[in-house]
Amino acid sequence: MPGLLIYLTISIFSLAAVLGSQCHARNGILTPPKGPIGPQGELRILAEGLNSSVTSPFIAVSRDAETYARLRELDINLPILEERFFKSNFVIAAFLGQRPTGGYKISITEQPGGFTVREERPETGTIVTEMITMPFKLVAIPSGMGGERVRIVLDNSWKDLLANYRVESGRFTTSGHLPVMPEDFEVTGKIALMRAGQLVTFFFRVYEKGRESGLIRGLSGSFTGIVTNETQVTIKSLVTWGVMRLDNKSLASGFFSDGGQRLSLSFTSFAVETSETSSGEGHIEATREEARVQG
């Protein structure tokens, strides 16, 4: 994927949504949700199978109906999730791309602070279907289970395809009602991303520069945005770690340009109703790293 120049402007919004789904089957296994999914629930498989329409590896984290609708444009046989669903749930979708036979599948498991996504391959000597498959898996997660700031650990089936950026410079400022004091701090770190169709998923690891203990502020987690006109991007929910408090949600919009070797992000957050909530703004400049040569 060519490198990108991105500007993001963020504003607070509130997600609305309860579970409402309609499942459509393909030539694979489809598991509809069994009962309501709430804050005390568990990771729930909504659909999985061997014949996705998504032919290249991709990960999506959908927290709103519009982003999920764009995901269904990539594979119309994914279950329908209505807007109410996203009030208390988000979804992780994993697509493995083409595999030479059956026997391949995807594992999504909870771990401290996030989730692990990995490929499971058939063991040597296992009898498998002699046909090209495109495994996929879609899971629903209660918002209270993993939080909105979802960290995802990928194995090499997806990790090797990420476009990686190194933060060269960045600064955030925060403000709020008393007793919250204004603050200003530099950030460093890395941003990785992958794209499929009109979706792009960001994996942020941006944190306060020079701080090794205590509250380390920054931008962390995995977020999927919508790309329009090949350049403009919107992330419907974004949490900035320490720039805004963790219970805040934000809207991000921006655009790609410059052929992709540099990444520029601009942030603006706004306080919500509570007087304890801080707001902030910031800017990040990053450079795309060269892909490592496998040898």
pLDDT bracket for residue 10 (50, 70, 90)? very low
**Whether domain 9-13+160-288 has CATH 2.40.160:** yes
Q: What percent of the chain has pLDDT over 70?
A: 71
Q: Are strands 114-120 and 151-154 parallel, antiparallel or unpaired?
A: parallel
- At residue 273, does pLDDT exceed 90? no
The residue ranges of every structural domain in the chain are 9-13+160-288, 21-147
Tell if the pTM clears 0.85, that is, is over it.
Answer: no
| Sequence-ordered list of residues with C-beta below 8 angstroms from that of 89, at least 6 positions apart, any chain | 17, 19, 37, 140, 141, 142, 143
Name the β-bridge partners of 263. Answer: 286
pLDDT at residue number 32: 38
| Sequence-ordered list of residues with C-beta below 8 angstroms from that of 158, at least 6 positions apart, any chain | 57, 58, 59, 94, 117, 194
What is the phi/psi pair of residue 71, to 5°?
Answer: -65, -40
pLDDT bracket for residue 278 (50, 70, 90)? low
**Mind listing the pLDDT tens digit for each residue in 70-87?**
999 999 999 999 999 998
pLDDT at residue number 17: 27
Give me 14's structure tokens: 């509130």
Among left, alpha and beta (phi > 0; psi -120 to 50; other), residue 248 is beta
Mean pLDDT, rounded, of the chain: 77
CA gap 260, 50 in Å, rounded: 33
pLDDT at residue number 230: 76
pLDDT bracket for residue 20 (50, 70, 90)? very low
Strand blocks (E) in 15-150: 21-22, 44-49, 58-62, 80-81, 89-95, 105-111, 114-120, 136-142
pLDDT at residue number 267: 77
CA gap 62, 82 in Å, rounded: 12
pLDDT at residue number 114: 85
CA gap 129, 30 in Å, rounded: 18
**Cβ atoms of residues 196 and 55 within 8 Å:** no
**Mind listing the pLDDT tens digit for each residue in 166-221?**
999 998 887 765 555 677 889 899 999 999 999 999 998 888 888 766 666 778 88
**Mind listing the pLDDT tens digit for each residue in 93-147?**
999 999 999 999 999 998 887 899 999 999 988 898 899 999 999 999 988 654 4
